[in-house]
Chains A and B, each alone.
Chain A
Amino acid sequence: MFSFCTDPSVLAAPAWFACYLTTGKLMLFYASFGTVLLLLAITAPVALAFGFAGAAAARSRVTPLSWLGKIYIAMVRGVPDIVFFLFFVIALDQGLEYLRHKVKCPEWDEPIRQGSDFIVCAAAKLPLSTSPQAWHEVYGFSLAVLTFSIVFGAFAANVLFGAMRAVPRAQLETAEAYGMTHRQTFWRILVPQMWVYALPGLSNLWMVLIKATPLLFLLGVEDIVYWARELGGAKTARFTDYPHADWRVWYFLALLIFYLAFTRVSEIVLDRIMARLTHGQATAAGEAQRKAAA
């Protein structure tokens, strides 16, 4: 990076660190923070959409659909979410390959599960073994995003289902009295009003989502935890220009501080949004705001 970095072994500590912190490997570490943010940016809206669909399904008057929604909501209760993470990544992968196998290789007659092996034809592999490394990484990341979205969608469905029930019944009855159909009542009356009830739960969910991002590591994505372990380990002079002892504790301290700062900033922003949204609402918090101003 800098011109004086040609021979790090002779540098004094500040210059040495300036060089060390700008090596290519460290740049990959910094980029992995982007991976985490990207995951959050994609997962949050997708999970919200899953959650909305789940909550709407649970409210449906069609019995099988409402069962489906309720099962989805109940799914995350009682079982550690990390189990779902580990489960869905393999299950989704195998499910997709199975479907492609059925479509692309109908003449294949051997069983797919042979003892401890899961065998599909080469054309059904995801991604194809001929595709470049980048596609493998994109596929792995997409699976992780989908897994996160399914699990957090279930959490969000739970929150939104509760919020939909919190909307005063009289509002819906009034809509019906005006002759609105079920669909109209749902979209014009229920959905616009539910957000203020959903926001505390959703902001809690956002914090939870932030704190779940290190689990990307378990799903096989090269995220910040992966790089902190890789880079922090003791390095000898034979393999690198920047030998150091075991620094993993410092790397993880940095991650700890990163997450603390991230959750703190989120908390402040969400509090502001909540204050803005409760303004003038007929809720306890809105009433408290009115009294404080008066």
Chain B
Amino acid sequence: MSCWDTVHAYAFRSIGMGERLLPRSDFTICEQIVLIGSGMIWNVYFGICALVLGFALATGLAVAKNSSNFFLRKAATWFIFVFRGSPLFIQFFFAYFLFLSLKGFSPVFDPFTSAALGALIVLFFNTAAYAGEIFYGALQSVPKGDIEAADAYGLAGLARFRRIVWPTMLRLAWPAYTNEAIFLFHATTLVFFSGFPAWRQQGDALYYANYFADKTFNPFIPYPILAGYFIALTLVIVGLFGLVNKRLNRHLPADRRARVRYRPNLMR
């Protein structure tokens, strides 16, 4: 089988298109690159969906944690504490078995036991909690003068939040949020190792890399391939978030702009 045939057979294997059987012997480099790349579809899917949904919830959480309402503040604080204080790996397991038990009560919960929805929910809540804490920190660092100026212009309530507080919050939080996004994508590799079944061997990049490492008993080829994919993905994220950062900082003189510094000492 030529490499082009392999691409044809396995490029979309992870979403159930193409060849049904995974390669079983005589593994070629091409097969490993294509199949692991195919698995990246899942990582990107989890990452983007959780990031977009999580961004909205994170803003809400940050505002709630900063609010003067006691119950709202406590609820947000606890949500953030639970998801930041426990390992994501355990959260996945817990959520999977929770959905599995709920399935017994009502068939409504059937789709939740699949990775595509169940794991996405966990990642969504998890990233919302981490980003919520980042946004909360930024919300507290919004300069007092900005808010006073808004008051002076007669801006209040939602208008003040939308036009003054929120953009400044995002600008201050953006470097940290970039790191959060990178680690969210890294965290997506845990999904298929934590209870959620890979239906018909449709797994993510690490699932296939692990498959090859198990079959060939040679970790020196599949894992570096996977690492290559993730480094590329990280560079894309850094690039895209850098563009947003540039836009958020466009009104500031060059020397006062926040630079995105990549700080990798975070993990769930």
Q: Is A35 an interface residue (CB 8 A)?
A: no
Interface residues of B in 181-233 (CB under 8 A from A): 182, 186-187, 189-190, 193, 206, 209-210, 213, 215-220, 223, 226-227, 230-231
Q: Is A136 an interface residue (CB 8 A)?
A: no
Which residues of A have CB within 8 Å of B85?
Answer: 259-260, 263-264
* Contact across chains for A249 and B267 when beta carbons are under 8 A apart: no
Q: Is A82 an interface residue (CB 8 A)?
A: yes
Chain A nearest CB, measured from B10 CB (Å): 19
Q: Which of A78, A91, A113, A204 has the most CB of B within 10 A?
A: A78
Q: Is A37 an interface residue (CB 8 A)?
A: no
Query: Quick one: closest B residue to A257, CB to CB?
Result: B86
* Contact across chains for B93 and A87 when beta carbons are under 8 A apart: no
Chain B nearest CB, measured from A111 CB (Å): 13
The 8 Å CB contact of B90, one of A78, A90, A94, A255, is: A255
Q: Is B71 an interface residue (CB 8 A)?
A: no
Contact with B along A68-92 (1 / 0, CB 8 A): 0000000011111111001100110
Q: Is A273 an interface residue (CB 8 A)?
A: no
* Contact across chains for B101 and A86 when beta carbons are under 8 A apart: no
**Bound complex: CA of A117 vs CA of B210, how far in Å?**
16
Q: Contacts A78-B234, A116-B217 given: A256-B91 contact, CB under 8 Å? A: yes
Total interface residues in chain A, CB < 8 Å = 47
Q: Contacts A113-B218, A201-B265, A246-B101 given: A212-B231 contact, CB under 8 Å? A: no
Query: Quick one: closest A residue to B266, CB to CB?
Result: A208
Which residues of B have CB within 8 Å of A215?
Answer: 89
Contact with A along B116-128 (1 / 0, CB 8 A): 0000000000000
Q: Contacts A155-B264, A205-B265, A260-B85 given: A83-B206 contact, CB under 8 Å? A: yes
**Bound complex: CA of A159 vs CA of B190, how far in Å?**
25
Chain A at the B interface: SS class: helix
Which residues of B have CB within 8 Å of A208?
Answer: 265-267
Chain A nearest CB, measured from B222 CB (Å): 9
**Bound complex: CA of A184 vs CA of B189, how far in Å?**
45
* Contact across chains for A87 and B100 when beta carbons are under 8 A apart: no
* Contact across chains for A259 and B87 when beta carbons are under 8 A apart: yes
Contact with B along A265-282 (1 / 0, CB 8 A): 000000000000000000
* Contact across chains for A90 and B230 when beta carbons are under 8 A apart: no
Which residues of B have CB within 8 Å of A159?
Answer: 265
Chain B nearest CB, measured from A52 CB (Å): 15
Q: Is A211 an interface residue (CB 8 A)?
A: yes
* Contact across chains for B94 and A82 when beta carbons are under 8 A apart: no
Which residues of A have CB within 8 Å of B227?
Answer: 78-79, 83
Q: Contacts A225-B89, A225-B90 given: A82-B101 contact, CB under 8 Å? A: no
Given pairs A246-B97, A246-B101, 20 additional interface contacts (CB within 8 A): A77-B262, A79-B231, A82-B189, A82-B193, A83-B226, A86-B213, A87-B213, A87-B223, A90-B219, A91-B219, A91-B220, A116-B217, A159-B265, A204-B266, A205-B265, A225-B89, A228-B93, A249-B97, A253-B94, A259-B87
Task: Please list 25 pairs of residues, one from A and one from B, whose beta carbons are closer than 8 Å in the complex, sorted by A's number.
Answer: A77-B262, A78-B182, A79-B230, A79-B231, A80-B230, A81-B186, A86-B213, A87-B213, A87-B219, A90-B219, A91-B220, A116-B216, A155-B264, A155-B265, A159-B265, A211-B88, A214-B89, A225-B93, A249-B98, A252-B90, A252-B97, A256-B86, A256-B90, A260-B82, A260-B86
